[in-house]
Amino acid sequence: MTSNADKGLLIVLSGPSGVGKGTVCSMLRTLAPELVYSVSATTRNPRVGETDGVNYFFKSKEQFRSMIEKDELLEYAEYVGQYYGTPRSFVADTIRAGKDIILEIEVQGAMKVKQRFPDGVFIFLMPPSLDELRSRIENRGTETDESIRNRLSVAVDEIRLLEHYDYAVVNDRVESACERIQSIITAEHCKRERIMPYVKSWMEEVR
Amino acid sequence: MTSNADKGLLIVLSGPSGVGKGTVCSMLRTLAPELVYSVSATTRNPRVGETDGVNYFFKSKEQFRSMIEKDELLEYAEYVGQYYGTPRSFVADTIRAGKDIILEIEVQGAMKVKQRFPDGVFIFLMPPSLDELRSRIENRGTETDESIRNRLSVAVDEIRLLEHYDYAVVNDRVESACERIQSIITAEHCKRERIMPYVKSWMEEVR
């Protein structure tokens, strides 16, 4: 029995901005409570109702910078003057305990995680069509034709990153997207490589 | 858009004898009526209630031998003086029409199909445990210890063929096995390679 068969899966859910990653992940929490959801570290202040270790690991800037220096983050980014990042140990401990963990993350962060965890299951959430993407961008506000074309071009560039992912899930309906993600996780657990060690142990026993 | 994205999947369901392939496939017909089920050709006589083209394609020995000569069968075998085989055109036509087709087949036949269709999705149905396999063999009849050991050894040898498959599905409960097979099919449809052509066409359009 190799340890690989007993390890949990690292599932990375990403996709272009505005595709609905957060909404899908929220519904997934209800539909798939057996999954562990990665908790990010941040330097921003807790909001009312937020709990340390549940919504975020709240850190001082000094603590966060020390985590960066000690390579304790799988990836991190700065946004509006605050740090956000994915603690490596929480992910590693969960997998080692045989539980599947899911990370909902921006495309840039996902590419960093892939460097560290090439064996992860990388799922790209896709808009249902180019027209849908265009109308979402148009409906955001009163923009010029040129700026709409620009934003569409940026979004399509982000979608190009799909080539680094294992799966694409079209977010046509949130429930359907969640079901597809759950199917992917089930299928990944059925992969030959995960079952082969058991078969090898049977062969030893029978010999 | 490449044709690959529009093609149906060839799903091959196999596994050691006695693992319950037929039972799982029957329930799958009820649970997944959207799948096409491959119809075998045979030289044996139709039984009462069997319809040509539904249960089997009934052929004379001459017709069957002609199919072999013209390479019209994906695989075939002789069993108790009768031929059984998988017509290639039925499989190829279904896939080309964008529909998924499932073949329930012995391990030897599955290996032949893999030579012709390496892109197929190969699913191996597994007994839940070595003990379960042993007790199934023991319960078959009044056999000597040596013949039980022999049969167990043959069964484990068949299970070794798992290494040529993509997925292993443990047949602990028929319903669960079917659900896992359906998840595998869903996941295969979400594979990046199948969606990438659409993304490429978006890029062309936006450019």
Q: How confident is the model at residue A176 (pLDDT cuts 50, 70, 90)?
A: very high
Taking chain B, what is the end-to-end CA distance rounded to the nearest angstrom? Answer: 16
Same domain, B107 and B7: yes
Q: Are A122 and A15 in contact (CB under 8 A)?
A: no
**Domain end among A61, A80, A99:** A99
Same domain, A90 and A68: yes
The pLDDT value recorded for residue B87 is 95
- Give whole-number Cα distances, A118 to A110, A113, B117, in Å: 11, 8, 28
Q: What is the pLDDT of chain B when averaged over all its residues?
A: 90
Mean pLDDT of B112-135: 91
Mean pLDDT of B62-70: 97
Mean pLDDT of A141-163: 83
Same domain, A111 and A143: yes
Chain B residue with Cα closest to A206: B153
Residues 6 or more apart whose CB falls under 8 angstroms from that of B13 comprise B21, B24, B25, B102, B103, B104, B105, B123, B125, B181
Return the CATH number at A194: 3.40.50.300
Radius of gyration of chain B (CA): 19
ipTM rounded to 2 decimals: 0.89
Q: Residues of chain A whose C-beta is under 8 A from some C-beta in B?
A: 123-124, 126, 130, 133, 152-153, 156, 159-160, 162-163, 165-170, 179-180, 182-184, 186-188, 190-192, 194-196, 199, 202-203, 205-206
Whether the predicted pLDDT of B71 surpasses 70:
yes
Whether the predicted pLDDT of B143 surpasses 80:
no
The pLDDT value recorded for residue A75 is 94
Same domain, A148 and A85: no
Same domain, B55 and B130: no
Whether the predicted pLDDT of B144 surpasses 90:
no
Which residues of chain B are within 8 Å of residue A110 when distances are taken between CB atoms? none
CB atoms inside a 10 Å sphere around CB A120: 19
Same domain, A83 and A160: no
**Domain end among B99, B126, B152:** B99
Q: Are B192 and A160 within 8 A, CB to CB?
A: no
Of A199, A126, A202, the closest CA to residue A169 belongs to A126
Same domain, B93 and B69: yes
- If one compares A43 and A138, the residue with the highest pLDDT of the two is A43
A41's enclosing H/E stretch is: strand A40-42
The pLDDT value recorded for residue B1 is 39
**Domain end among B52, B75, B99:** B99
Q: Is A121 annotated as a binding residue?
A: no
Q: Are A90 and A39 in contact (CB under 8 A)?
A: yes
Residue in B133, B192, B203 closest to A168 by CB: B192
The pLDDT value recorded for residue A59 is 97
How many structural domains does chain A have? 2
d(CA B138, CA B157): 17
Same domain, A14 and A57: no
- Give whole-number Cα distances, A62 to A59, A69, A71, in Å: 8, 11, 14
Return the CATH number at B80: 3.30.63.10
Q: Are B192 and A166 within 8 A, CB to CB?
A: yes
Chain B residue with Cα closest to A159: B199
Whether the predicted pLDDT of A1 surpasses 60:
no
A155-175 pLDDT, tens per residue? 888 888 999 999 999 999 999
Same domain, B163 and B107: yes
User: How far does Cα A5 stand from its chain's mean position?
Assistant: 22
A94-136 pLDDT, tens per residue? 999 999 999 999 898 999 999 999 999 999 999 988 888 888 7
Mean pLDDT of A45-74: 94
Residues above pLDDT 90, as percent of chain A: 65
d(CA A13, CA A38): 11
- If one compares B198 and A141, the residue with the highest pLDDT of the two is B198
Which DSSP category does B46 fall into? P
B137, two tokens: 């063999």
Whether the predicted pLDDT of B175 surpasses 50:
yes
Length of chain B measured in residues: 207
Interface test with B, best of A192, A194, A207 (most B CBs within 10 A): A192
Q: How far is B200 from chain A (nearest CA, A)?
A: 8
The pLDDT value recorded for residue B95 is 95
Q: How confident is the model at residue B141 (pLDDT cuts 50, 70, 90)?
A: low
The pLDDT value recorded for residue B142 is 63
Note down the domain range covering B8: 1-35+100-207
CB pairs under 8 A between A and B: 108
Residues 6 or more apart whose CB falls under 8 angstroms from that of B5 comprise B194, B195, B196, B197, B198
The pLDDT value recorded for residue B46 is 93
d(CA A175, CA A24): 8
Residues above pLDDT 90, as percent of chain B: 65
Which residues of chain B are within 8 Å of residue A191 when distances are taken between CB atoms? 166-168
